[in-house]
Amino acid sequence: MTDNQLGPEQFDIGSAATPQGATAEPQRSGKPLGFDVGSCHIVACRQADGGFSTQGQLNAFFELPYRKFTEDLLEHNRISYFQDDGTLIIIGDEAGKFALVMDAELHRPMRDGLLNPTESKAQWVVRKISEMLVSRPEKLGETLCLSVPAVAPEQEARLLHHQAVLQDMFMSLGYRVRLVNEGHATVLAALADNQFNGIGISLGAGMCNGCLSYFSVPVLTFSYGKGGDFIDRSASEVTEMSVSEVRIIKETELDLGRGPANRVEHALQIFHDHLIRGVLQRLQQAIEGTTNLPKIHQPLPLVLGGGTVMPAGFLDRFRKIFKEFRFALPISEVVLTEDPLTATARGACLAAAAEEATGIA
């Protein structure tokens, strides 16, 4: 394989949902780094001037048959690609734009929150996209904190493999790699004012991940094996629309706070409701199944992050369904994180900073 790295965007052929602030310049500042390799997006985050600097790319690739003319055009427009076996492989946000314009399939290196075992180029593509966002550290051994999901026992082999591959990848770049659960990262990103007491749930594309944190210590973690991809696939199955068409409507038009305007909006509402109930059931089971819960009398906030919370009206819908449930712990309120698409990476960045400050993982 050969590769050809990109520069500033010059070839604007559409839009793809990408975390805010995303650019194509690798970060190299020597500060602790948070990294979120998600089923839909890869996001890197460093602390910067009292805030955060985040950059993201779509975790996807698009294949074109090799033609010298096409390759010249990609080069001319400084679009990131590599060549493999008679194919031009475009990666990251640009891949999303090509798929949109050409109405063709976008390949995804990850499925259900983990590396996709049926996608032979998965590891290679994730590495290439990650290298668009971070370069080697200034000093060997800088801390990079990587978010990882909590998965059901039957997925344990996939999780161990996923973690080991990504850990090796960042170690080979020269980082000291630490791991943080994705739900825990959501608490770290959003609940500093509450001394990191509360429940964080990240509702992503492949899955949802939750954590109950007590003074920043993860007391329990859980996951639910559905996310935005499930919503898109399911709504596509019951309408005549492709998965991409459904996703675009979901990301640009859907308002869960009003009555559905058409069949696809109706289907999207049904599957959002199903997902919300599934997540709350898993939270309920996780709380009930944990024997050594701290005796918490102060009601805890529940904070939601991840791209699946983004449609207008999502929070009200979640709060309404939340009232159907009884929990063995008092929950004070349900809120959204700021900038839900970067919350996991920001939380991972804080975990990396804490790790550097204390030396404790």
247 binds, options Mg ion, ligand ATP, none, Cβ within 5 to 8 A by partner type? ligand ATP
Measured between alpha carbons, how far is 62 from 75 in angstroms, rounded to an integer? 16
Helix (H) or strand (E) holding 198, with range, is strand 198-203
Indicate which of ligand ATP, Mg ion, none lies near residue 109 (CB less than 5 to 8 Å, by partner kind).
none
Please state the closest distance from residue 207 (CB atom) to ligand ATP, in A: 5
Query: Which listed option, Mg ion, ligand ATP, none, makes contact with residue 185 (CB within 5 to 8 Å by class)?
Result: none
In whole angstroms, the minimum distance from the beta carbon of 206 to ligand ATP comes to 4
Q: What are the φ and ψ backbone dihedral angles of 50, each rounded to 5 degrees?
A: 75, -5
Report which DSSP code applies to 37: E
Helix (H, G, I), strand (E, B) or coil at 238: coil
* CB 85, min distance to ligand ATP, A: 27
38 binds Mg ion per the rule CB under 5 A: yes
Our CB check for ligand ATP shows the closer of 286 and 329 to be 286
| Rounded Cα distance, 262 and 202, in Å | 29
Least Cα distance to 238 among 265, 202, 218, 220 occurs for 265
Smallest distance, Mg ion to C-beta of residue 34, A:
12
**Phi, psi (degrees; rounded to nearest 5) at 252:** -115, -25
Q: How far is the CB of 349 from ligand ATP (least distance, A)?
A: 15
Binding mask 187-206 for Mg ion (x = CB under 5 A): -----------------x--
Taking CB atoms, the residue at the shortest distance from ligand ATP is 228
Q: What angle do CA 204, 273, 112 make, to 5 degrees?
A: 30
Cα 107 to Cα 109: distance, rounded to the nearest angstrom: 7
DSSP result, 62-108: EEEE--HHHHHHHHHTT--EEEETTEEEEETHHHHHHHHHHT-PPB-
Residue 192, token pair as written in the block: 């500093």
Closest to Mg ion by CB, 38 or 200: 38
Q: Does 34 bind Mg ion (CB under 5 A)?
A: no
Name the residue nearer to Mg ion (CB basis): 96 or 204: 204
Query: Is 56 among the residues that bind Mg ion (CB under 5 A)?
Result: no
In the bound complex, what is the minimum distance in angstroms from residue 13's beta carbon to Mg ion?
Answer: 26
3-state helix, strand, coil in the chain (%, to 5): 40, 25, 35
Binding-site ranges for ligand ATP (CB under 6 A) = 17, 38-41, 113, 202, 204-207, 227-229, 247, 250-251, 306-308, 310-311, 341
- 53: three-class secondary structure by DSSP: strand
| Residue number, nearest CB to Mg ion | 204
Nearer to Mg ion, 204 or 311 (CB): 204
Region binding Mg ion by CB under 5 A among candidate stretches 34-42, 97-105, 117-125, 241-249: 34-42
Size of the site for Mg ion (CB under 5 A): 2
Q: Which two tokens stand for residue 129?
A: 């996209």
Identity of the residue, 218 or 227, whose beta carbon is nearer to ligand ATP in the bound complex? 227
**Of the two residues 47 and 337, which places its CB atom closer to ligand ATP in the complex?**
337
Q: What is the DSSP letter of 293?
A: -
Closest CA to 300 of 329, 279, 340: 329
> Rule CB under 5 A: which residues touch Mg ion?
38, 204
